[in-house]
Chain A
Amino acid sequence: MSSFEDADTEETVTSLRVTIYHPGQMQNGIFQSIRFYNPEKLPSSEVVKFGRNSTICRYTFQDKQVSRVQFSLQLFKKFDSSVLSFEIKNMSRKTSLLVDSTELGYLNKVELPYRCMVRFGEYQLLVEKEDGESLEFFETLFVMSPRPLLQEHDWPAGKPTPEFCRSSLWCTQSTSLSASPREMDENEY
């Protein structure tokens, strides 16, 4: 019997395709440690961190304006659901993370839609999920976009929508926020 016939049945894996754009990507080498167009299989229990610190983060951005850990992604299942979902959590103390029009503060987390735009600072990440069967692994694939994604995909570049407007002052302040949070923290403590 050949090894082909003897092999375990292959399972499809849940995959995340991340298309990235940053206006300085051609000059600054900020994505030099990311292997584009190279599918990577990761254990399903891994909390995948993105940021500047290469000892902590699986995917690093060579940019001093990026936090040591900017955000994290992890797989999970809702109770009694067979579908694997991804959750994204903002790990930056000072910089907001935008998931479509939802603004996440430090340690806020949200389930990723099947297709969404994730933004912080001048970074734009179009994240697209594809379901798979495997509970053991998931796959990531990074693609660099030569053009800004917001224009390319006609994404609403609107202002973040606050979920909790407890006072008119807060609402006034939040609606004056830029769609691209400019402030970048260092998490140096």
Chain B
Amino acid sequence: MERPLTVLRMSLYHPTQGSAVFATVPQRLQHDTSPLLVGRGLDAHLQLHLPRLSRQHLSLEPYREKGSALLAFSLKALSRRGCVWVNGLVLRFLEQVPLSTINRVAFAGIQMVVHVEGGTSLEAFVCCFHVSPSPLIYRPQAEETDEWEDIPKEPPAPGSE
């Protein structure tokens, strides 16, 4: 019997609705156990069309915690110039953090909420994408996450604004 795949439910938002930013985002993307690359480049598994984005901006890497049967994920910033805001932490080039069940991510003006739904398959995982018409993360300067000087120091409580 086939084991159920881990599902990453990913909601995406960018203020320029109707633009081509998410034009090539599929509804569903199945991926093996290699890191999933997100960026502007042709080699990115999730390709987003935004000039401010690096060709490889971040990666989502599946792995397994010792003693666990389920996949876990870590997010690594791969942009030399930009950075990635993850659950209140600002990651710079090569910095990496583990993801939890629900994760708020912002980079280059894009907002992304990643919800991890664990499955027992260790062969692959699947991403299900939804483009949101409204902002997903309410915080000041959420679009400025690739500018060092505009990085918020403290994460606001979700929904506090």
B75 to chain A, nearest CB (A): 11
Complex: A163 Cα to B78 Cα, angstroms = 31
- Whether A107 lies near B94 (C-beta < 8 A) is no
Q: How many residues of B contact A (CB 8 A)?
A: 24
> Secondary structure at chain B's binding surface: helix, strand, loop or mixed?
loop
- A119, CB-defined interface residue at 8 Å: no
B76 touches A163 (CB 8 A): no
Q: B63 at the A/B interface (Cβ < 8 Å)?
A: yes
Closest to A56 in B: B34
Selected from A45, A75, A107, the residue in CB contact (under 8 A) with B71 is A107
Q: Is the CB of A79 within 8 A of B89?
A: yes
Task: Establish whether residues A163 and B95, one from each chain, have CB atoms under 8 Å apart when the complex forms.
Answer: no
Q: Which of A77, A166, A189 contacts B67 (CB 8 A)?
A: A166
**A159-186 vs B: 1/0 string, CB under 8 Å?**
0000110100000000000000000000
Known: A45-B56, A45-B78, A47-B35. A108 touches B63 (CB 8 A): yes
What are 7 contact pairs spanning A and B, CB under 8 A? Answer: A75-B94, A76-B94, A79-B96, A105-B64, A107-B33, A135-B80, A163-B66
Interfacial residues, chain B to chain A (CB-CB below 8 A): 33-35, 56, 62-67, 71, 76, 78, 80, 89, 91-97, 122-123
Extra pairs beyond A135-B93, A164-B67 (19, CB < 8 Å): A44-B94, A45-B94, A76-B94, A77-B92, A78-B95, A79-B89, A91-B33, A93-B122, A104-B66, A105-B64, A107-B63, A107-B64, A108-B64, A135-B80, A135-B94, A163-B66, A163-B67, A164-B66, A189-B123
Docked complex Cα distance between A84 and B94 (Å): 8
Interface positions, chain A 59-112, Cβ under 8 Å from B, are 75-81, 84, 89, 91, 93, 104-109
Question: Which of A47, A77, A105, A109 has a CB less than 8 Å from the CB of B95?
Answer: A77
Complex formed: what's the CA distance from A44 to B113 in Å? 27
